[in-house]
Amino acid sequence: MTRQLARGLLALLAILTVTAAVPAAQSNQSRRLFQRYTVEAPRWQGPIQGPWEATGGVTVRGPGVTMTSERLKVWFARDTWVAERITATGNIVLRGRYTATDRTEWDVVAHAGTATYDNAARRGTLEGSVTMEATNLTSNAVLSVSADRLIYDGGSGEILAERVQNPVRVEWNEPVAADESAAEAPPQQAPEGESRP
């Protein structure tokens, strides 16, 4: 389950940041469209062949997903519009909906200092006080991960979470029905000086 969630999160990041193509103006912000994804930033620059860089507070929107960062940079493979490498930096917040292979839907919120995606290596990385919380919309179960670095390898489907000084923290909280929690509750102790019949 954790691997599916991480794969979804980093795939979401890769999809979000693969933005290029038709320029259009909207107020004082630069705007680029790629299918149904939109990148908006106060400043967008770079040669036609790339790399392109958006700065000054970037917002990427797509179907069911939003990512914000201070800066976004996209490098393209030579003579193609295929994104070779993508980097987002500064106060990254990623919000979206992920559908797992078992068709359960999850609301995902992640925070990081930097995010990178290398298309050739099929590897996505979130770094810098990474936190991710995913809520299962069917069971209300919550998966939380805290790490310094979260790496997803798209080739093997494996996830690696690392921390330098503290251990990686992964929490799974599944709601328990009221009748189940009563059966599992420890017996209550009588206050001091009182006895139970």
Name the pTM for this structure. 0.68
Partner residues linked to 135 by β-bridges = 107, 142
**Full DSSP string of 66-117:** EEEEEEEEEEE-TTS--EEEEEEEEEEEEEEEEE-TTS-EEEEEEEEEEEEE
Q: Calculate mean pLDDT across residues 63-76.
A: 91
CB-count exposure of residue 22 (10 Å: 0-12, 13-18, 19+): exposed
Q: Are 93 and 111 in contact (CB under 8 A)?
A: yes
Q: Are 92 and 115 in contact (CB under 8 A)?
A: yes
Q: Calculate mean pLDDT across residues 167-196.
A: 66
Mean pLDDT of all residues in the chain? Answer: 76
Split at pLDDT 50, 70, 90, the class of 33 is very low
* Phi/psi at 180 (5° precision): -70, -40
- CATH 2.70.70.10 for domain 2-184: no
**Dihedral angle of Cα 31, 34, 39, 43, to the nearest 10 degrees:** -40
Regarding predicted confidence, which is higher, 50 or 17?
A: 50
pLDDT in tens, 120-134: 898 989 999 999 999
**Taking the domains of the chain in order of start, what are their residue ranges?**
2-184
pLDDT in tens, 38-50: 889 999 999 888 8
Cα–Cα distances (Å) from 156 to 89, 121, 160, in that order, read 26, 11, 11
Say which range, 78-82, 92-96, 98-102, 141-145, has the weakest mean pLDDT. Answer: 78-82
